[in-house]
Structures are given as structure tokens and as C-alpha cells.
Amino acid sequence: MRSLRLLFVVPLLLSSAALAQSHVRISYEMAQPVGNTARFIDRFSSRGAHVDVSLELTYAFHFELSAGLNSFNAAKYGVLTTTTGQDVSGKQYRYLNVVPLMAGFAFHVPLGGGSRFWVGCNGGTGYFDRVIDLGLYSYTANSWQYGIQPHVGLAIGLGDKSGTALFFDGRYNYFWARQGFPVQQYWSFGVGLLFGGSGKK
Amino acid sequence: MRQATLAAAMGLLAACYPGGAQTASDLDTVTTQHDPGADFASIQTYAMPSTVQETPAAAGEPLAIDHGNDAAILATVAANLNKLGWRQVNPATVTPDINVMVSVTATRYREYVAYPFYGWYPGWAGFTGYDDTWSVYYPYGGGYTTVIDAGSLRIEMLDTRTPNSTTKQLTAVWTASLDGIIAGSAQSLLTRINTGIDQAFAQSPYL
């Protein structure tokens, strides 16, 4: 019960410290794989979404929580060598779903009228779900990999008192190799809405 | 509301795995395996029976097989073996280094499902008095939802140079399996099979 109270108290303390510029961002995200990720799937992804919670700790300095989903898919012919030593060829339908779960810090520069520019860096983990459908078979491999996510964004205030803004962001997602899975990298680009900004200021 | 949430979740899940096979040939696969200890470099001759044998699958219903393409299939296999520099011999007069066998399987697979009807319409007045522990009984054996006609063509190389007379076994040094859905005309099937045979040899550079 005590831990439950603590869970409620911490956000309250945070909120008392947080200033009016704390906000939530929800975005539609596209992504371009590079490196090893592109060797698995080299196709641009048009499916993804992110939610970011940004808490202003001191003026312009924010603590950020970020969660998202980036879905990649591609079809290609090739030979897959299985763990049992079989070489299987055919049309491969490859899928990669990445769920990055990050936290970090960012500097937000108010531009007036609810607009802002920010730059920051998140760190955390990402869940990678890989599937290859080949013929009547399906091969899967999953991993959790630690990573970082530098990001920038530009929000344009929509002029309302609630501080809603249209924003564009860009992120570089880098995940270190782990448990036999190589380094993963991709760029993602988002467009979305920022809620609870500083329109009234 | 629950249905809407479920539909949204299903939609989201489907969005994670879009695309998929459009035609039967998109599901064709060629699987090869080999004995890493086999001495392929020293193979010079092979023998191959002039017929394609039928082998039953471990499960499913066997389908009738049209052997009208057998000669063309065997010719494609022989052409690929000859490209390796191996020479076809008559085993009645010359002992070959390997024997090559070609076999086919055609099977119909059915998936039977007894639907948990209550789960489809929970709370519906028509199913008052039942719950999700009930299912449907089909006295006529029906209720299946999926029927797949699948076929395989298998090519095997048996090394006649290393027979084990103790266990009475010949070692298979290479196996290729062409697997797919049976659909389309005999000519289109032959095209897919020939493409698969060529691919089996192409993805086996150690031969």
C-alpha cells in the first residue's frame, strides 16, 4: 500500500515542479532502416506511432518518456539458412516490429505563440520482433536490445489557449548488439500533435 | 465497446504483418540439406531410375498424381547433374558413384475445427443457458475450415561408395525438397517444378 501511495506522490511532486510547458506529443511516424536493419528489410516504413511525455524540470530543460512502434515489412527472394542446417529458398515475407521504450532529457526552446524547437537524447530499450514467412513455414526471432535515440523537433503553435501545436520530429534510433543479434539502426520521422504546451503564455 | 476495442486491436496487429502471398507460386520453397562430410568433389558418375516414385505423406489424404511430366522432370534433374560435370551411367554395366532418386508426394490437408459458438456471441439470448465450455458436434464429420492441397518433389543422392553393411544403410549425401501448393495447370506446375529444381542446384554450390 505504501508503494502504491509513493506511485501517486511521485507524479504529484513532479507535476508541482513541472512548469506549464510540460506536454504530451502523439505522432505518426515513418522510418528508414539503415545498416543491419536495412540488410534485413531495406524498405521505407510508413507505419508507426509514438507517444512522448515531456516534463519540464527547470526552464527549457525537460525529462522525457517515449514509447512507440515502428513496423517494417518487405518481400524478397533469397536463401535462408536455418539453425538446423537447412537452406530454404523462396519468396520471403519479412516483418520487423520495433517497440522502443525510452527515457531521456531534452532542451526545449520556446519560439512564442506556442511554437518551440527541441533537441534531446533518450536511452532505453527496444523490443524487436522479427518474422519471416517462407512458403508454408514461419520463422521468428525476438530480442530486447539497449539503445539510444537522439531526436530533434519543431512545433508550430495552432494559436489556441490550450497550447496545442502541430509538430515535426526526427529521431535516430541505435540499438547495440545483444544475445547474437547485431546492431540495429533506423531513422524515423514523425508528424503529430503536441498537447498542453504553452499557448497561453 | 469491447468488440470495437477487439477490432481495433486486431486491426493494429494486422497492420504489423501486412502483405503476404498473392499466388500459389509465392508459397513455393526449395529446401536443401547435405552431409558436410561428403566428398562431392570426387563424384564423377551417377545413375538415375527412369521413373518418379510416389511416397505417401505421414498425415493427410493422398491425392492422385499425374505422371505426365515425369520425363520432363527427370530431364531437368539430369541436365543439372550433367552441368556439374557428372556423367550418367547405366548401373547394369557401370557402378555409379551415386544413385539419384526422384519422388513426389501430393496430399490434401484438412483442418477440423469445432467452433466455440458461445464465444462468438456471448450474452446472445439464443444461447442462454450455455457457456464457453460448450462446442459444436458434427455427426457427419464436417466442420472443417481449411483445405490445402500441398505437394513435394524430393531429389536424393545416395552415396554408393560408402555402404554400411553392418547397419545396411546407404548414406544420403544431398536432399532437395520442393514444396508448394498444388494449383494451376499441369504446364504451370511443370514450370514451377523446373524452376525449383534449378534453384536447388543453384543454392548448393558445394556440389
- Which chain A residues have a beta carbon less than 8 Å from that of B19? 73, 75, 93
Choose the mutation target among A30, A76, A84, A93 for the interface with B, i.e. most B CBs under 10 Å. Answer: A93
pTM above 0.80, yes or no: no
Which segment of A106-115, A169-178, A192-201 scores lowest on mean pLDDT? A192-201
Q: Which residue of B has its CA nearest to A89?
A: B30
Mean pLDDT of A101-118: 93
* Interface contact flag, B16 A97, Cβ < 8 Å: yes
In the prediction, which pLDDT does A167 show?
Answer: 96
CB–CB contact A93 B21 (8 Å): yes
pLDDT digits (tens, 9 = 90+) for B78-93: 999 999 999 999 999 9
Looking at A18-32, A130-144, B134-148, which range is the least confident one?
Answer: B134-148
pLDDT at A168: 97
Go through the domains of chain A in sequence order and give each one's CATH number: 13-195 (2.40.160.20)
- Residues present in chain B in total: 207
B18: burial class by Cβ within 10 Å (0-12, 13-18, 19+)? exposed
Which of A69-83, B90-104, B107-121, B169-183 has the least mean pLDDT?
Answer: B107-121
Going by DSSP bridges, is the β-strand pair B98-112/B53-54 parallel, antiparallel, or unpaired? parallel
Least confident range from A69-73, B70-74, B131-135: namely B131-135
> Chain A within 8 Å of B33 (Cβ-Cβ)?
yes
Position B80 scores a pLDDT of: 98
Q: How far is A172 from chain B (nearest CA, A)?
A: 21
Q: Which domains can be identified in chain B, with CATH numbers? A: 21-105+151-202 (3.30.160.670)
The yes/no answer to whether this complex scores an ipTM above 0.95 is no
Does B27 contact A136 at a Cβ distance shorter than 8 Å?
yes
Using CA atoms, how far apart are residues A136 and B31, in angstroms rounded to an integer? 12
* Predicted local confidence at residue B139, as pLDDT: 76
Confidence of residue A46 (pLDDT cuts 50, 70, 90): very high
**Res. A51 pLDDT band, cuts 50 70 90:** very high
The DSSP 8-state label assigned to residue A44 in this structure reads: P
